[in-house]
Structure 1
Amino acid sequence: MSMLITNARLITVPAGTDDPGYIERGWMLVEDGRISAIAAGDPPVGTTADETLDVDGAFVAPGFVSSHSHLFTSGLRGLGVGETLYGWCDSMLGMTSGASPEDIYWSTLHGAIDFLSNGVTTAYNFTDPLQSWERMVDGKRVGDAPMRALDYHTRQADACADAGIRFVDSIGMDATVGTDAEIHDRFAQSVAHTRSLDQDLALGASIMGQVQWSPRDDAAAIEVEAMRALGVTNQAHFLESPEAVPLQQSKFAMYRDAGALGPGMMFGHFIQTTPEIIEQAAEGGAAMSWQPASNGRLASGVALVPEMLELGMKVGMGLDDQACTDISDPWQNMRMGIVMQRARTKDPLSMMPERVLRLHTLGGAEIMGVADRVGSLEVGKFADFVIVDPRRPDVGPLWHPVRTYVLSMSLRNLTKVYVGGELVSERGHSTNPLAAEATVRVHQQLPQIAARLGYPA
């Protein structure tokens, strides 16, 4: 199948430059799910396709990449509103402690379809771990919560694939349960399942780094061993909460001394840092995932993103839990990032629209290790793109189109979303045949779980 898009305001976000790659009027040809040509003006005479789509001056831009997401949380919005990170986790993950593999499948499917309908075509997805959440004691989990069967993880990976979102599957090692050999074998089985799925959708497997709250002093070494043995990346929730900051900071040495710092290591949030921690992470080649909307919602603080970028650290943006951003809106996330950094630095140049757009597309793909396939509109990459109409509703003259795209567009302007050249959402309505059932299941199952648990109290 092929598609020819014409009369488009193209924003390509090309690799190797900070230029957003804006083309005032251009065209793009999609063949077999990938971009085969893209250029300014009209397509050459004789260019044909199975479908021609004249977008009449609308923006055509890369689908957004969320480099830090928890898709299973889509039905848990509005919980723990008066809490910081750990209290919020108690309220939200206390609910999923009672979920079955099928419950978590439908919750994840619901979340993935929600992302796609909002223009997010690729996600780094933290799966709900096999070991249930526990309350924090002295800055770490006790480590004795019950374990669920392996299909609790695999059904979450299945849901992402069934939704049609591209994803990197992030899996907890649950390193407090079993011998080291059992821990590694269990993790390897999960990775093998992810790698058995459609590799055009399941773009990779990764570790959900758990050092921040693990009671094991050698948790980082366990993760690094798995990274090297299985060729997977790692993203750790790290230095996020404003609580027990010295204790959190002391754990950075665990990753450093275990040899984790490198291109395969990402730190999610990375707020309660020191200059020395940032310098060592940057020098080692580690990356950072920035979640401004989540960081504000949970009163976590503001990460020093411009300073990290200045040191050469790679940064991507994520929408985090749907339960702590409430609306999985990448435009809202970008604008929050801009205003938070400008308010902190009192310098408008510290975060410009062009930069934040790159961080939420190609930047996210880069830190996830998938920029060869997604994150920009370039020949050879998957044809994952959004169509955004600046006239419905109208925002006035486009004095600087790329900046207007970031600052003035919203989900109201998002008309269509494509993955691999296939329409997956139109005006917020999913084309996935499972979408209606996902809605029914989430509305039925989550209240049933809450009733069983006597939750929320």
Structure 2
Amino acid sequence: MTELLVHGATLLTVDPERPDPFVGWFSVGDDGRITAVEPGEPTPEQLAQAAEVLDAGGTIIGPGFVSAHSHLFTSGSRGLGMDSTLYGWIEAMLRYVLPASPEDMYWCTRHGAQDFLRNGITTAYDFTDGGLQFDPSIASFGDRIPSLDRQHAQLRAKTDAGLRSLHSVMLAQGHVPRADALAHVEETVGAAADADPSLLLGVAVSGAVQWAPTPDTAALETEVMRRYGLVNQAHFLETAEMLDLQRSKFAWYADSGALSPQLVFGHFIQTTPEIIATAAAAGCAMSWQPMSNGRLASGVASIPEIRAAGMRVGMGLDDQSCTDVADPWNNMRTGIALLRAQYKDPTAAPVGDVLMMHTRGGAEALGVDGDVGSLRVGRYADFCVVDPRRPDTGPVWDAVGTYVLACSLRNLRSVWVGGKAVAHGADLVDPQAGEVESQVHERLARIAADLGG
């Protein structure tokens, strides 16, 4: 049965097999997946057979955005470390995160998840916090097992909010027994088995070689990737600090056998031509976070060279406390501006390509493009309804150009996940949305008071 039929909009399907844009319609089945996408108007019979009809005339509809690199638990820590690079910002942010209980982490993560949904981001690769202390003097997160209770709380929060995600967990670093680390993964995978499979798209590894003291971390991550078939996204070559040390650790991943389509490099800014060529030849992907990279003065990733080498590239909103406003339109425009200014070439960042990277490209990088990232038959009906007339952006000469360059959160009329509305403007459908906000304010105020402000 057709649960929803949407018609009248200009569609940006981001389907590589058909040209965008076109005025058309699509239908959604009872499993929340798209059953048809066609140009023109549906027949009266097709309209009559739909349980719900959305007349989206005058709007532009694109796929829900994919944030290929996110830290949802930081949603209550925005505006901190405002004039710092990566490691100074981490210290400022973790001041209020480390004392948090698993229940505090639940509410902060759910706050981040609903913020994503409100802003048109329907799928996220989410790096969870395991309660590890960061030591900036040696750039390490320590040598103990992350907290399972904290990670499980963050998993519940995302699914309770209705956000699709890959749930990424950091493994032990340093001198933790291998058996203990593997048991940690077993428990994480076991907890994930009870989650809604339509929302939890998989468990993943938070690659930590950038902060590891020995190659053992790379060997452990590679073993887990192979044993459980998990994607591993590694924060790597993000900051210009300790650059020679960072680059030397690329060999740890290469020597361990981690370089493969399952390995995604997060940030990947301070690269060399040799590193790019080796990663591309192995089928690795990367995630690009332009707003975060600019905010933290990390630099500008060599996206044209990386794409030319054949790497899959997605885009992410990163920490909500270093992107501050989780706005995919601003993220796209920031990326376009940074690349064009850096290369002094408008073709360094074609507008249509950037939209693709923040939707289907992110899904391809993470290996979930069979479920999300485009408006195609068989994919979940996750989409954004954008009205370029409210407020008015002027004539629509090119729908892709208007959507990416002229529209913003103020034009976002509604957000849909699996053919169900989750937000209308800034208002979430979730009846607990207000409680989530109250819980975050109350809990973080308590933590701040305990710390003396």
Q: Same fold (TM over 0.5)?
A: yes
Could you tell me which residue of structure 2 aligns to residue 206 of structure 1? 204
Could you tell me which residue of structure 1 aligns to residue 264 of structure 2? 266
Q: How many residues align?
A: 449
Shift in Å, 1:425: 0.4
Q: Tell me the amino acid that sits aligned with residue 29 of structure 1.
A: S
1:73 and 1:321 in contact (8 A); partners too: yes
Could you tell me which residue of structure 1 aligns to residue 82 of structure 2? 81
Could you tell me which residue of structure 2 aligns to residue 418 of structure 1? 416
2:62 and 2:383 in contact (8 A); partners too: yes
1:121 and 1:419 in contact (8 A); partners too: yes
Could you tell me which residue of structure 2 aligns to residue 288 of structure 1? 286
The two structures have a TM-score, normalised by structure 1, of 0.96
Shift in Å, 1:401: 1.1
Question: 1:133, 1:415 → 2: CA distance?
Answer: 41
Query: How big is each residue's C-alpha offset from its partner over 1:135-181, in whole Å with a ceiling of 9 and x where there is no partner?
Result: 2224x327257x66421110100100000010000001123363110
The two structures have a TM-score, normalised by structure 2, of 0.97
1:177 and 1:183 in contact (8 A); partners too: no
Shift in Å, 1:15: 3.5
1:112 and 1:163 in contact (8 A); partners too: yes
Shift in Å, 1:451: 2.0
Question: 1:237, 1:86 → 2: CA distance?
Answer: 13
Query: How big is each residue's C-alpha offset from its partner over 1:363-394, in whole Å with a ceiling of 9 and x where there is no partner?
Result: 00001110001000001111000100000011
Question: 2:315, 2:64 → 1: CA distance?
Answer: 13
Question: 1:16, 1:126 → 2: CA distance?
Answer: 32
Q: Tell me the amino acid that sits aligned with residue 311 of structure 1.
A: A
Q: Tell me the amino acid that sits aligned with residue 267 of structure 2.
A: H
Pairing 1:142-153 to 2, within 5 Å after superposition:
143=142, 149-153=147-151
Which segment drifts farther, 310-319 or 431-440? 431-440
Could you tell me which residue of structure 2 aligns to residue 34 of structure 1? 33
Could you tell me which residue of structure 1 aligns to residue 398 of structure 2? 400
Shift in Å, 1:45: 3.6
Question: 1:192, 1:442 → 2: CA distance?
Answer: 28
**Aligned equivalent of 1:240, options 238, 241, 258:** 238
**Aligned equivalent of 2:371, options 370, 373, 377:** 373
The list of structure 1 runs, each at least 4 consecutive aligned residues, that deviate by more than 6 angstroms after superposition, is none
What SS does structure 2 have at the residue aligned with 1:136? coil
Closer, same or farther: CA 144–171 of 1 in aligned 2, 3 Å? closer
Pairing 1:57-456 to 2, within 5 Å after superposition:
57-129=58-130, 131-138=131-138, 140-141=139-140, 143=142, 149-176=147-174, 178-455=176-453
Closer, same or farther: CA 7–37 of 1 in aligned 2, 3 Å? same
Q: Tell me the amino acid that sits aligned with residue 88 of structure 2.
A: G
What SS does structure 1 have at the residue aligned with 2:9? strand
Q: Unpaired segments of 5 or more residues in structure 2? A: none
Which segment drifts farther, 213-222 or 333-342? 213-222
What SS does structure 1 have at the residue aligned with 2:293? helix
1:34 and 1:421 in contact (8 A); partners too: yes
Which segment drifts farther, 444-453 or 55-64? 444-453
Shift in Å, 1:196: 2.1
Question: 2:365, 2:149 → 1: CA distance?
Answer: 28
Shift in Å, 1:16: 5.2
1:5 and 1:52 in contact (8 A); partners too: yes
Question: 2:297, 2:141 → 1: CA distance?
Answer: 25
Question: 1:10, 1:170 → 2: CA distance?
Answer: 32
Question: 2:303, 2:148 → 1: CA distance?
Answer: 37
Question: 1:194, 1:328 → 2: CA distance?
Answer: 26
Question: 1:230, 1:39 → 2: CA distance?
Answer: 39
Question: 2:392, 2:212 → 1: CA distance?
Answer: 50
Q: Tell me the amino acid that sits aligned with residue 5 of structure 1.
A: V
1:35 and 1:379 in contact (8 A); partners too: yes
Shift in Å, 1:419: 0.2
Q: Tell me the amino acid that sits aligned with residue 277 of structure 1.
A: I
Question: 2:337, 2:251 → 1: CA distance?
Answer: 32
Query: How big is each residue's C-alpha offset from its partner over 1:67-102, in whole Å with a ceiling of 9 and x where there is no partner?
Result: 000001111000000110001000101221101000
2:146 and 2:171 in contact (8 A); partners too: no
Q: Tell me the amino acid that sits aligned with residue 60 of structure 1.
A: I
Q: Unpaired segments of 5 or more residues in structure 1? A: none
What SS does structure 1 have at the residue aligned with 2:354? helix
